């Protein structure tokens, strides 16, 4: 199986939600013929309208020469049988393993043996989904980030059954589509959703302890830490129906490791259906005319908040490197391209010094006696040996 020789130009996308139609747009703009299948006709009609609007806006901005021609390359089909000529089929349906498995059972009945099958899951086991396929060796994860046309990063995740050569071929295909691929081991959360958990989790812990309020924590992480969004603004932006569920999924998948423990505060928002921007209320109230809370701009407090959260992020990145989740280069790329961190976490560790990071974590561990603050063996080793990661 060699994608470069086969020159895949026919792509199938199952699911016409925001992610599915975003992937379809990326492939179509790259010159591919795209077939979008969804069993919800109304959803497909909305997707067709949204795609047309998005392409027209790009043409108005001078980023496309002919939006109509690209739109004509996208067919919205009402039967999975219409995907039979595709060389690659990407599933982008609800994050439910049973639903995804059923999709591939049906797709595999109609596509050729040479067709590559891929899931866009953000946190489920790629290996588990691959196992339902008759030819699991042609299956892998291709995880785009939302919105797919704008976000450069794509996580390529081989299952344990995946033919090794397929990984490089898919990475090359993603580059052809103008994306930046990184390769991640099939572990919960892959790279980004694993490494980013402390950005939310530790901020929530600080809030729970009454150390600072949401506005102050967000101010500290943006103004002092250099992040584009504070954790509470970002959780509201993502939506608690997505962000909380990913946290809970990762927590369960890691056998309830305390590093990934969800927050009751965020769970209550989800239960109240205060989902963030999409519902008009979350940590913040987005109703027109509502005054937003003002932060306490105490630089000393702000620096303590940044140091605590960033130390946890660094530790997660170092542990991912130690466990072979990805290469150092891919870990850095994932966090700068996938969630727009001001710098890679390994670079941040090198600038701070592994010894400082270790002392910061050990201080929290000695204070709380909570296993969430345990330092990675590799961080401890680098601190003792005065070594850098990059």
Instruction: List active site positions.
Output: 122, 143, 155, 193
> 37 - beta bridge partners?
14, 77
| Beta strands at 10-14 and 88-91: parallel, antiparallel or unpaired | parallel
> Cα-flanking dihedrals φ and ψ of residue 318, to 5°?
-65, -40
Cα–Cα nearest to 331, from 172, 191, 158:
191
**Edge-first strand listing for the sheet containing 116-119:** 74-77, 33-37, 10-14, 88-91, 116-119, 139-144, 153-158, 180-183
Buried b or exposed e, range 96-130, using 16+ CB within 10 angstroms: eeeebbebbeebbebbeeebbbbbbbbbbbbbebb
Q: How many CB atoms lie within 10 A of CB 175?
A: 12
3-class secondary-structure state, position 236: helix
User: To which residue do tokens 């379809």 refer?
Assistant: 24
3-class secondary-structure state, position 8: coil
How many angstroms separate the CA atoms of 136 and 276, rounded?
38
How many angstroms separate the CA atoms of 264 and 332, rounded?
31
How many angstroms separate the CA atoms of 54 and 22, rounded?
10
The string of DSSP codes covering 334-368 is IIIIIS--SS-HHHHHHHH-HHHHHHHHHHHHHHH
- Residue 232 contacts residue 290 (beta carbons within 8 Å): no
- Is cis: bond before 352, omega within 30 of 0? no
């Amino acid at each position: 199986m060699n994608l470069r020789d086969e020159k895949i130009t026919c792509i199938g996308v199952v699911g016409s939600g925001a992610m599915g139609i975003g992937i379809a747009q990326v492939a179509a703009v790259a010159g591919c013929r795209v077939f979008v299948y969804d069993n919800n006709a109304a959803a497909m009609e909305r997707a067709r309208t949204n795609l047309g609007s998005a392409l027209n806006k790009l043409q108005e901005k001078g980023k496309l020469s002919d939006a109509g021609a690209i739109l004509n390359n996208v067919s919205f089909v009402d039967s999975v049988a219409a995907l039979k000529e595709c060389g690659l089929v990407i599933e982008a349906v609800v994050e439910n393993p049973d639903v995804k498995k059923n999709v591939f059972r049906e797709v595999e009945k109609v596509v050729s043996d040479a067709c590559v099958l891929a899931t866009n899951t953000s946190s489920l086991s790629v290996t588990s989904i691959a196992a339902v396929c008759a030819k699991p060796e042609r299956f892998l994860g291709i995880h785009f980030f939302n919105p797919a046309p704008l976000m450069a990063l794509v996580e390529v995740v081989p299952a344990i059954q995946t033919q090794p050569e397929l990984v490089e071929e898919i990475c090359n295909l993603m580059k052809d589509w103008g994306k930046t691929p990184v390769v991640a081991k099939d572990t919960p959360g892959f790279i980004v959703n694993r490494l980013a958990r402390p950005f939310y989790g530790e901020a929530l812990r600080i809030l729970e302890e009454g150390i600072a309020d949401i506005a102050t924590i967000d101010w500290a992480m943006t103004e002092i830490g250099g992040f584009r969004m504070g954790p509470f603004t970002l959780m509201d932006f993502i939506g608690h129906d997505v962000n909380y569920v990913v946290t809970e999924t990762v927590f369960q998948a890691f056998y309830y490791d305390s590093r990934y423990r969800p927050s009751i505060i965020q769970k209550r928002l989800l239960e109240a259906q205060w989902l963030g921007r999409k519902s008009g209320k979350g940590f913040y109230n987005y109703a027109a005319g509502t005054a937003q809370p003002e932060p306490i701009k105490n630089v000393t407090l702000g620096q303590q908040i940044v140091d605590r959260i960033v130390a946890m992020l660094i530790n997660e990145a170092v542990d991912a490197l130690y466990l072979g989740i990805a290469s150092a280069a891919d870990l850095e790329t994932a966090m700068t391209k996938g969630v727009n961190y001001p710098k890679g976490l390994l670079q941040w560790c090198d600038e701070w010094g592994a010894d400082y990071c270790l002392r910061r974590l050990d201080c929290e561990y000695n204070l709380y006696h909570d296993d969430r603050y345990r330092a990675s063996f590799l961080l401890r080793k680098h601190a003792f040996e005065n070594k850098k990661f990059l």
